[in-house]
Structure 1
Amino acid sequence: MPALIHRAERAPSSEPPEWAGVGACALPVAAGSATGLLECHALVLTTTGPMHADVDFTAHLAGPGTLLWVRPGQAVHFETGSPPPRTATVVFRPGLFGPEELPGLFPDDPDGPGRTPLVLPDPEVFRAAFDHLAADAAGPPGRIAAALLRHQLAALLLRIHLLAGDGGDPANVERRTFERFRRRLEEGYPHSRRVEDYAAELGCSVRTLTRASLAVTGRTAKQVVDDRVALQARRLLAATDLSVAEVGRSLGFAEPTNFGRFFHRETGLSPGHFRGGSTEQSGGIPGQRLPAD
């Protein structure tokens, strides 16, 4: 993911150390700052609360013993009361684990487990794991220490996967087709919004992609593509200083007017009105409309 111009104030030590790719901090983005885009994964554990978290324009209330997994590239905003809640965060860089390395789990999957807050049945177990990882990450760097941190993180991620229980049926043909489509879409959405292009790359028909998309999400393949482009547009408008024209160009719109029409159709707002709302309201950014067609 290319570097972006962030408006949010990053929390101290929010990036994992290069030698390990895994680290720990309190929050990945300072509470009360403007919406920011994460460049790494963040497992945020709230031990006292509550805490308000906006992730990709969806508001969540995290009480004590709640875990939230925030992915790279997501738009994030945290609000805390007084006194502020105690939180612990494990951060790790994307690409740390391969697609087949953890059974049934690909951590870099943007639609993976923990997308919504998990109320933990055993929060102390997770808190202890977070504390051990933080202590080891603060210790002397080295090959053995890096391997230890990686194993500790793998155990945490697998626990989350078991708790979330939302992996779907891996034997379902339509789900497998949709997963291939969605992963290809993550790479291709800045360049193409044509379902025909994705169908050709995956060696199937547009009808097959549409049937799979409807079965898994209730949305057509074209709507899934447009949803993804509109989400990225909202992220960039809310959390960077790129101009409206620059946001549109980064998503394949040569003309700002074409981008404006697309954005208004998807969200009900012009890009300028959306950006104005994101700077005036904390956590009050309107979400995307779900048209029937």
Structure 2
Amino acid sequence: MVDFASLPIPVIPYTPLCRPGVGIAVTSLGEVRAKVRMDFTTAPHRLDYHQIMLVESGTGDFTIDSTRYSCRAGSLLWIRPNQVIQFASATNMDAHLVMFTETFPLRLRAQMGMLDDVLRPCHWQLGDDELAGFQRVLALIQEEFGRPDQGLGEDILKHLLAVALMHIDQLCRSQRKDHRETDTPSGENGELFLRFRRELEASYRTTRLVEDYAAALNCTPRTLSRACRIVAGTSTKDLIDARVALEAKRLLVHTDLPVGTIARQLGFTEVTNFGKFFARRVNMTPGTFRRGDDPRN
């Protein structure tokens, strides 16, 4: 089993200069650039905290887990802990940044499991109305963050962050092509989905069988499939395979491990089966992906 945290990819810890001890910080990309060497940000690195970035001006490319996003004013990105990120060397972007620890947010409805879900979308291009609404929320967070704390500041920031995250959750659902009235997760389906996501993180290297996950969660495959469809809009099998493919891409890009070793660490007994799986999910062979021959990455 690979301990991804031990791989030689730099990790930036959560060390805010303002309001230490509070699990949220508000700054700008320009301020970060003034404190961090450019050659560091343009090399692959990870954060041990969440970061929401709203581009205010300029353009540039930003890569999250081997997917490159072309950003401009109105681009919204959510970087989750341990995702491998990288700025393009030539960028004139400036952006609002909201950084927060994994334990800071309020835990609200079941869809807030997106906090822990690296398979959820992480990039949106906001329309005018969406952008104006999100900017108002960010302005409130920034105003409260800069205000002297009189006893309730942290609680207010928690609630304002919850509003921002629910805005993003609404974007996820409103931009889904198969959006339906029944897509809002609630009750047993939402809770089962969150339990499945935790089980998937623990077991994706050892099994890709829906039946194994259903057994671990003490439910039927059909019940689990229904929860995944309602909450995530896709099948249980697709979520399992997407998580395995994500780890495969990370290992191919950021380690020198042979393809056969990566295949075994992800539970494949034959490297040819891994190659077929990867080509089906990513539309190229592991070797092609590792060389970076595809212009999209």
Q: What CA distance in whole angstroms lies between the structure 2 residues aligned with 1:60 and 1:249?
A: 31
Counterpart for residue 166 of structure 2: 161
CA pair 217-94 structure 1, distance change in 2 beyond 3 A: closer
Write the deviation string for residues 102-155 of structure 1: whole angstroms up to 9, x where unpaired: 79634633169873326321526525634764x68xx9xxxx899845742541
The alpha carbon displacement at 1:171 in A equals 3.9
| 1:194 aligned to which of 191, 209, 212 | 209
1:116 aligns with 2:127: no
1:20·1:146 contact (CA, 8 Å) conserved in 2? no
Structure 2 portions without partners, runs of 5+: 174-182
Counterpart for residue 239 of structure 1: 254
Aligned residues: 269
Counterpart for residue 94 of structure 2: 86
State the one-letter code of the partner of 1:42.
Q
CA pair 229-146 structure 1, distance change in 2 beyond 3 A: farther
Please state whether the residue corresponding to 1:117 is helix, strand or coil. Answer: strand
CA pair 79-127 structure 1, distance change in 2 beyond 3 A: farther
| 1:44 aligned to which of 44, 53, 56 | 53
CA pair 246-95 structure 1, distance change in 2 beyond 3 A: farther
Counterpart for residue 95 of structure 1: 103
Q: What CA distance in whole angstroms lies between the structure 2 residues aligned with 1:7 and 1:54?
A: 15
1:181 aligns with 2:196: yes
1:35·1:76 contact (CA, 8 Å) conserved in 2? yes
2:75·2:123 contact (CA, 8 Å) conserved in 1? no
Please state whether the residue corresponding to 1:152 is helix, strand or coil. Answer: helix
1:19·1:146 contact (CA, 8 Å) conserved in 2? no
1:36·1:76 contact (CA, 8 Å) conserved in 2? yes
1:227 aligns with 2:242: yes
State the one-letter code of the partner of 1:121.
A
Q: What CA distance in whole angstroms lies between the structure 2 residues aligned with 1:104 and 1:216?
A: 7
Write the deviation string for residues 215-252 of structure 1: whole angstroms up to 9, x where unpaired: 55564422321121112211232234544345334423
State the one-letter code of the partner of 1:87.
A
Counterpart for residue 15 of structure 1: 13
Q: What CA distance in whole angstroms lies between the structure 2 residues aligned with 1:146 and 1:38?
A: 29
TM-score, structure 2 length as denominator? 0.69
CA pair 104-276 structure 1, distance change in 2 beyond 3 A: closer
Residue identity over aligned pairs, in percent, reads 30
Q: What CA distance in whole angstroms lies between the structure 1 residues aligned with 2:287 and 2:248?
A: 12
Counterpart for residue 179 of structure 2: none
Q: What CA distance in whole angstroms lies between the structure 2 residues aligned with 1:73 and 1:189?
A: 17
CA pair 20-215 structure 1, distance change in 2 beyond 3 A: closer
Q: What CA distance in whole angstroms lies between the structure 1 residues aligned with 2:251 and 2:152?
A: 35
TM-score, structure 1 length as denominator? 0.70
Which stretch of structure 1 is more off in the superposition, 18-27 or 203-212?
Answer: 18-27
The alpha carbon displacement at 1:203 in A equals 1.8
Counterpart for residue 289 of structure 1: none
Please state whether the residue corresponding to 2:115 is helix, strand or coil. Answer: coil
Q: What CA distance in whole angstroms lies between the structure 2 residues aligned with 1:267 and 1:113?
A: 17
Please state whether the residue corresponding to 1:203 is helix, strand or coil. Answer: coil
Structure 1 portions without partners, runs of 5+: 286-293
The alpha carbon displacement at 1:195 in A equals 1.2
Please state whether the residue corresponding to 1:52 is helix, strand or coil. Answer: strand
State the one-letter code of the partner of 1:238.
V
Please state whether the residue corresponding to 2:225 is helix, strand or coil. Answer: helix
2:111·2:231 contact (CA, 8 Å) conserved in 1? no
Counterpart for residue 284 of structure 1: 296
CA pair 164-265 structure 1, distance change in 2 beyond 3 A: closer
Q: What CA distance in whole angstroms lies between the structure 2 residues aligned with 1:112 and 1:152?
A: 26
CA pair 150-171 structure 1, distance change in 2 beyond 3 A: closer
